[in-house]
Chain A
Amino acid sequence: MISLAGRDILHAWGKFIFTGVGLGLLIGVTLTMAGVYRGMVDDANVLLDNSGADLWVVQQDTLGPYAESSSIYDDTYRGILGMSGVARAANVTYLTMQVRQLGDGKARDVRAMVVGITPDGPCHPGQPGYLVDGRHLTRGHYEAVADIATGFALGDHIQIRRNEYTVVGLTRRMVSSGGDPMVFIPLKDAQEAQFLKDNDAIVRQRARTEQNPALNRPGVPGLLDAVIASQSTNPSVNAVLVQIEPGADPDAVAEPIRRWKRLTVYTRAQMQDILIAKLIATSAKQIGMFLVILAIVSAAIVAFIIYTLTMGKIREIAVLKLIGTKNRTIAAMILQEAVALGLIGFVVGKISATFWAPIFPKYVLLEPGDALRGFVAVVVICVLASVLAIRAALKVDPAEAIGG
């Protein structure tokens, strides 16, 4: 028996291909939406991976440093270093801001997450894991290592707050949970960038302090200078990143830090939960809604196309029924055409998504598993969408082929 669906598709291949391409672009958008979600999750995981930490020590009762603001003293890490099971600990600050690229004709702002790290070398927590060009931070001030997604090049000068930095290294896939590329600068500079007030505010603060009789006592020389000095510097960081000794249990190491330092400590699994279940949960639901709507729209389009194609053959279907074609042969023809349309659409959609995903400003991760699930969904949608046309075809009266 010949394939009626195959013959019909070959006969009207132009119409079929163009329809499939149209459907494919829609499927491509759907796959890309799934890729956007996967990219967000991957960004979150990459953020955790790149931090190189096993534990995150943050301000008590906060979800910091990625989901909420957190502020702890920058000497806290010394006490943590002395605790059992701790191999390394390092201060870190995170600040998402506009970083200005300087230079003739180059001046532009880039949204980036500025990360303050101690220039201890690549093995320490918080450091960029690997570089694609240049070197790590070695000086205490005015150097930067940037993710290549910022568009910065080695030797470029960038401005963060009032200070200028030279890009000495480039790294890759170092992004915030929101997908913003990271710029690493020395911790002291980052603390200043995050907490230092502008000059006018400092002048006003000094004046207020001088006018305060409790702080400016004639009988206590040096008090005013000490107070002003403490107001001008900031001893806070957002978190302490901790690496534990090999074989140590993260929960066992975390517990005494919680108890004795009165800080909140998150393990990798807890931080992953905060990032994925809390921080990007709303975005995930948003994308999920888009996926549902796109699936419904795709199903409606396939149903409409298959229904229209079937209605265009109504007289032929009547003839087929009159000459003895079984209902299941006619239903199979429509079903095969719907699935073929879906297959064309899926191939076009997968190719389209693969080509346009790298162009997106944020990371789009197209996973083979998602493609497989998408393929199954497309086939299921096509099968369901063909039901309407099959019902219409089976209702056709073979008597319609005979006049009168």
Chain B
Amino acid sequence: MDKQHVESSARGIRIEGLTKRYGEGDTAVDALKGVDMQVAPGEVVGLIGPSGSGKSTLLKCLGAVIEPTAGRMTLGQDVIYDNGWKIPDLRALRRDKIGFVFQAPYLISFLDVTDNVALLPMLAGKPNAESRKRAMELLEALDVAHRAKAMPSQLSGGEQQRVSIARGLVNRPPVILADEPTAALDSERALAVVRILNQMAKQYETAIIIVTHDEKIIPTFKRIYHIRDGKTHEEAGEGRSFD
């Protein structure tokens, strides 16, 4: 690992020896067995592996949704987990420091596009006008500003996913966790979404981890973490250009 990468990773996300055990005694299952991973700001890495390999468990641990059994997680300069949560308010951590992009966009059906995106800063206590302004900037960057007043049910799948990305980015989190973000999209739209994620990662200095099975987008990653039986190993990706 080069020096520049190590320095920048100090501001990204880093996990060391992360384990997760479900159950106890004879029925205990080790879903993660000492996972190491680090993603630098502005970097997009792939996390791939077969079903049951521990991808979702790792994503849930990274997202502070479930508690690991042991290990250490660092987000920027902050230690989040070190054999126990070090942050008292995980809800605020998820709201302010982690962006989520899901397989299905899961937009809030009763909010229009702008408010779907603006909701996060509003939840963080930002004024409505400022939240909506920030949401509009992102919607413009993602080329869906013209649907700002539309309801989610009126959007195409690609538009919904772009709104979902905007929602993940709106609080400028240092890390975005994307769970199969292109699974429901055709090749062209899938590549478009990954291109956008790469642009946003660079523009906002965000570390992005994309969990995927999608063969179409795997060649675009420069670095890939393979996960199997709860262990990861890192390898270089093709880093294919989008052009």
Residues of A that sit less than 8 Å from B by CB: 1-2, 4, 7-8, 10-12, 313, 315-316, 319-326, 329, 397-399, 401-404
Contact = CB atoms under 8 A, between A and B. Distances in A.
A323 B65 contact: no
B115 A402 contact: no
Contact of A401 (B95, B102, B128, B151): B102
Main secondary structure of the interface of B (DSSP, over half): helix
A322 B63 contact: yes
Nearest to A312: B109
Given A402-B59, A403-B56, 13 more contacts: A1-B122, A2-B119, A7-B111, A321-B91, A322-B63, A323-B119, A324-B93, A401-B106, A402-B100, A402-B179, A403-B103, A403-B180, A404-B57
A336 B143 CA distance: 35
Contacts of B108: 316, 319-320
B128 A323 contact: no
Nearest to B59: A402
A228 to B, nearest CB: 90
B73 interface: no
Given A1-B122, A323-B120, A403 B179 contact: yes
Contacts of A321: 91
A326 B60 contact: no
Contact of A11 (B65, B106, B109, B124): B109
A1 B123 contact: yes
A402 B95 contact: no
A159 B57 CA distance: 90
Contacts of A325: 91, 95, 123
A401 B94 CA distance: 13
Sorted nearest first, the 7 A-B pairs with minimum C-beta distance are A404-B56, A324-B95, A11-B110, A8-B110, A399-B65, A319-B106, A324-B94
Contact of A323 (B57, B59, B94, B110): B94
Contacts of B96: 324
B110 A402 contact: no
Given A316-B108, A322-B94, A323-B95, A2 B65 contact: no
B122 A324 contact: no
A401 B63 CA distance: 11
A14 to B, nearest CB: 13
Contacts of A329: 123
A324 B109 contact: no
B113 to A, nearest CB: 13
Contacts of B128: 1-2
B92 interface: yes
25 contacts: A7-B111, A7-B115, A11-B110, A11-B151, A12-B110, A315-B106, A316-B108, A319-B106, A319-B108, A322-B63, A323-B100, A323-B120, A324-B92, A324-B93, A324-B94, A325-B123, A326-B91, A399-B60, A399-B66, A401-B100, A401-B102, A402-B102, A404-B55, A404-B56, A404-B57
**Which among A2, A320, A324 has the highest number of chain B CB atoms within 10 Å?**
A324
A319 B96 CA distance: 15
B167 interface: yes
A399 B151 CA distance: 25
A323 B123 contact: yes
Contact of B110 (A10, A322, A324): A10
Given A2-B115, A8-B110, A324 B56 contact: no
A11 B110 CA distance: 5
Contacts of A316: 106, 108-109
Interface string B163-181: 0000100000000000110
A15 to B, nearest CB: 12
Nearest to A11: B110
Contacts of B119: 2, 323
A397 B65 CA distance: 8
Nearest to B51: A404
Nearest to B97: A324
A319 B110 CA distance: 13
Given A8-B110, A11-B109, A324-B94, A402 B56 contact: yes
